């Protein structure tokens, strides 16, 4: 009979594959790979791929591969400034509608670019207002300052460090934390019970947003996952890694299988009831 300390506790958190993780392959390919490797679902990055913008096409992919859409990433990137409108609030409204129709629980959104002055001025209040109108979580994601050589540009407003503002839910992206050279565990602590979504990737503190496979950089990926497991985190953990340098589809798939195995391993915490106390930096109560 197993002793209490040997009991493995698996949290309710589901592990999803971001469709961005298969780039330059397609959104459709992401659904296929997620199903084949055993992911619990996908997060759809809405971007220039027409399928990512088409709710009915996404529904058909979800049904065909029997893989749910767990989250929708609103088109907030520089390359998606004209996707779903040039008005940022319209983009968020369409992302919410997509999430509701696809059964996704979360919309991931970046803070505004600094040059989007009116949007940035109203952003915090506007996100609260939109969150009050739906059961879908608007989880605002931490970003980073842009760096070139010895120069730094603050590209996001109100701030790239989203914990400085009052949002209902946060997304923590470990690669972004690495690029901003932030103490990731301290950021998790500041997010506290408002941490609702995780973008899991690694980094080495480069000025470029690396999105390495977890375990290949110096971010505390394992510690974050183990802490979430101990705390009973019930949000989603999304693998969002860069596989552009993969020499073949097989190599890309191997990277995504490795990322999934790493995540599942560290989400399974072997702990006795007496050792279930979680450091405050990783205490994320079930909501």
| pLDDT higher than threshold 70 for residue 268 | yes
Note the pLDDT of residue 281: 45
Would you list the DSSP string of the chain? ---GGG-EE--S-EEEEEGGGGTTS-HHHHHHHHHHHT-SEEEEE-SSSGGGG-HHHHHHHHHHHT--EEEEE-S-SGGGTTTT-S-HHHHHHHHHHHHHHHT--EEEEPPPBTT-HHHHHHHHHHHHHHHTT-SSEEEEEP---EEETTEEE--BSS-SSGGGS--SEEEEEHHHHHHHT--HHHHHHHHGGGEEEEEE-B--S-SS---BPTTSSSS-HHHHHHHHHHHT--SEEEE----TT-SSHHHHHHHHHHHHHHHHHHHSEE--GGG----GGG-----
Under the banding of pLDDT at 50, 70 and 90, the label for residue 280 is very low
Note the pLDDT of residue 274: 35
Q: Which of 14-28, 74-88, 257-271 has the highest mean pLDDT?
A: 14-28
Note the pLDDT of residue 254: 97
pLDDT tens string 218-236: 999 999 999 999 888 989 9
Note the pLDDT of residue 8: 57
Under the banding of pLDDT at 50, 70 and 90, the label for residue 9 is low
Q: Does residue 63 contact residue 36 with C-beta atoms inside 8 Å?
A: no
Residue with the larger pLDDT of the pair 10 and 242: 242
pLDDT tens string 170-201: 999 999 999 999 999 999 999 999 999 999 99
Distance CA 226, CA 209 (A): 24
pTM, to two decimals = 0.90
């Amino acid at each position: 009979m197993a002793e209490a300390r040997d009991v493995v506790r698996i949290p309710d958190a589901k592990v999803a594959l971001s469709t961005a993780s298969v780039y330059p392959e397609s959104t459709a390919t992401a659904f296929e790979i997620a199903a084949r490797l055993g992911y619990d679902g996908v997060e759809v990055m809405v971007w220039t791929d027409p399928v990512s913008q088409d709710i009915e096409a996404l529904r058909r992919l979800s049904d065909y591969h029997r893989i749910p859409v767990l989250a929708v990433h609103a088109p907030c990137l520089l390359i998606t400034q004209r996707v779903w409108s040039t008005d940022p609030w319209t983009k968020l409204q369409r992302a919410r509608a997509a999430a509701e129709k696809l059964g996704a629980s979360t919309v991931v959104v970046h803070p505004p670019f600094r040059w989007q002055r009116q949007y940035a001025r109203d952003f915090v209040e506007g996100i609260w207002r939109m969150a009050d109108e739906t059961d879908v979580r608007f989880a605002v994601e931490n970003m980073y300052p842009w760096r070139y050589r010895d120069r730094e540009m603050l590209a996001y407003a109100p701030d790239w460090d989203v914990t400085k503002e009052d949002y209902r839910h946060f997304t923590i992206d470990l690669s972004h934390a690495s690029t901003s050279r932030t103490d990731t565990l301290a950021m998790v602590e500041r997010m506290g019970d408002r941490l609702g979504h995780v973008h899991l990737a690694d980094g080495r503190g480069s000025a470029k947003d690396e999105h390495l496979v977890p375990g290949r950089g110096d971010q505390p990926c394992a510690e974050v996952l183990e802490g979430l497991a101990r705390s009973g985190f019930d949000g989603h953990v999304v693998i969002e890694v860069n596989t552009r340098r993969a020499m073949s589809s097989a190599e890309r798939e191997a990277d995504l299988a490795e990322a999934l195995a790493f995540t599942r391993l560290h989400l399974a915490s072997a702990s006795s009831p007496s050792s279930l106390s979680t450091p405050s930096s990783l205490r994320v109560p079930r909501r």
